[in-house]
A and B are shown apart, each in its own frame.
Chain A
Amino acid sequence: MRPLHPVSPSLRTVLGISFFVLFVAFWAWITLGGHVNRIFLADPLSMLRDGWRLLVEDRFWLDILITIWRVFGGFVLASVVAVPLGIAMGAWKPVEAFLEPFVSFARYLPASAFIPLLILWAGIGELEKLLVIFVGSVFQIILIIAVKVGSTRRDLVEAAYTLGSTNNGIVRRVIMPANAPEIAETLRLVLGWAWTYVIVAELIGSSSGIGYMIINSQSRLATGQIIFGIIVIGLIGLLSDFAFKAFNRWLFPWSLA
């Protein structure tokens, strides 16, 4: 095969789908063929049956909704704090010098390790779940945006100065619009990470949500339900990513024209 040679769109689709087919086929073969114990791994058909029962009888869609609300709640909270801070750090170097060392340190604090502390402070209600996502996302967003804003094209800034922009005008009418697509792209990336934080938050001290269903199923050895829950998370993540991408494209047509 020639390195770096592009693949045709139709072949790309076929290849992409065929891995899913192979994966499910292998899974069906080891489970339905009796090569692994059904207690540890459910087969694809019973997974679908369990999933259907969850949705119809156990009102699992309520858990899905509550998990989605937590992800977006925590994510919006983090964005509202982090985006202005990131822009301020990127634009004004003294602000960066003041905050950057702490934020760099804080981003390596694992959000999951905060869960016991957050439960002590905020109980096991919704606020605690939102805070886990907030802690996990906020420092990442701040740092990435600060770096992007800090590398704003200097020639655009200089051009604006020669056109009469004030310092304030540079920040509001050059730095912010110039980096808006990158900021939106950063948020899309971090939203993906927020999905992993929410499940961790729901595995501990929770009574609702997809993560709660998963940990609850473990005690009943309902591996079909666990797998169904994991697949639902993957699908929602994929959908929200697509939606976010389409929204960014609609919002910033100039960056791809």
Chain B
Amino acid sequence: MSKLLIEGVSRTFAGVRGGEPVRALMPVDLAVAANDFITILGPSGCGKSTLLRIVAGLEAPSEGRVLLDGKPVTRPGPDRGMVFQSYTLFPWLTVAENIAFGLRERGMAEEERDGIVASYVDLVGLKGFENHWPKQLSGGMQQRTAIARALANDPDILLLDEPFGALDNQTRGLMQELLLGIWERRKKTVLFVTHDIEEAIFMASRVIVMTARPGHIKSDVAIDLPHPRHYTLKTSPEFSALKARLTEDIRVEAMRTADVH
């Protein structure tokens, strides 16, 4: 059985000032197997973030439904952890308190929390920064904390909305390896939205390419590159072939969005 099932999910926004309603997302069907790492690749404005937010329960679909372990999604909940592109650490809480947030909301006792927090601080390599405020951290460190915060809740699925989009190239590469390393060791179902082709291939066991607005799925590419993956993989012939193919797919879409046929 699929871990996550997206059935005919679409999203239409009401027209502005009596204008035509805007269709952001054509009906999308997608089945995600347990412990799969899926990247959703598409040009900006293709509705990929909207799709992820619908899975998170932060937005309601206009049609269709999302099932997680057979149960329909109606609202956001701790079973679907999310990492946002913007820095969303709570600025009044320290790194450790941020990671403990979900556990605290669940009513877990402090001693029990401390052990879990320490293990996730360690996992994302932030030992020694437990008592720092988010403002004192670099962008990469903030996103590592955000990943730890989402994982500490032990969600059934991890949703990431261009989590490294605001980071510089070097940091971005390191973060990809870090996240992939965690996934290789701890197996988790992951849905990762990005517009970066290399990132989409490097991270994924399966890449879903979405078309320009109104978005729908254009292709579904299995990535059979071996694990554990190392950054040198990005220069291998297999990787380049995949990259060439997806570049072609995405280029057509990007051109349609930019209206240069």
Contact = CB atoms under 8 A, between A and B. Distances in A.
Given A159-B84, A252-B92, A164 B77 contact: yes
Nearest to B91: A254
A161 B84 CA distance: 13
Size band of the interface chain A makes with B: 20 to 34
Contact of A162 (B81, B92, B93): B81
Contacts of B105: 160, 163-166, 169, 173
Contacts of B135: 254, 257
Given A253-B133, A257-B136, A161 B76 contact: yes
B89 to A, nearest CB: 8
Contacts of B159: 162
A14 B136 CA distance: 34
A158 interface: yes
Contacts of A180: 92
B130 to A, nearest CB: 14
A180 to B, nearest CB: 7
A162 B136 CA distance: 24
Contacts of B134: 254
A151 interface: no
A165 B86 CA distance: 19
A155 B86 contact: yes
A218 interface: no
Contacts of A155: 84, 86, 88
B90 A174 contact: yes
A254 B57 CA distance: 30
Contacts of B92: 177-178, 180, 252, 254-255
A253 B82 CA distance: 28
Interface string A48-79: 00000000000000000000000000000000
B143 interface: no
A235 interface: no
30 contacts: A155-B84, A155-B86, A160-B90, A160-B101, A160-B105, A161-B57, A161-B58, A161-B76, A161-B77, A162-B57, A162-B77, A162-B82, A162-B150, A162-B159, A163-B78, A163-B101, A163-B149, A163-B150, A164-B106, A169-B105, A173-B104, A177-B92, A178-B90, A178-B92, A180-B92, A252-B92, A254-B92, A254-B93, A254-B133, A257-B135
8 A-B pairs with least C-beta separation: A164-B78, A163-B102, A161-B76, A162-B82, A159-B88, A254-B133, A257-B133, A177-B92
Interface of A: 155-156, 158-166, 169, 173-174, 177-178, 180, 252-255, 257
Interface of B: 56-58, 75-78, 80-82, 84, 86, 88, 90-93, 101-102, 104-106, 133-136, 149-150, 153, 159
Given A162-B56, A254-B133, 18 more contacts: A155-B86, A156-B88, A159-B90, A160-B90, A161-B57, A161-B58, A162-B78, A162-B159, A163-B81, A163-B101, A164-B78, A164-B102, A164-B153, A165-B105, A178-B92, A252-B92, A253-B133, A255-B92
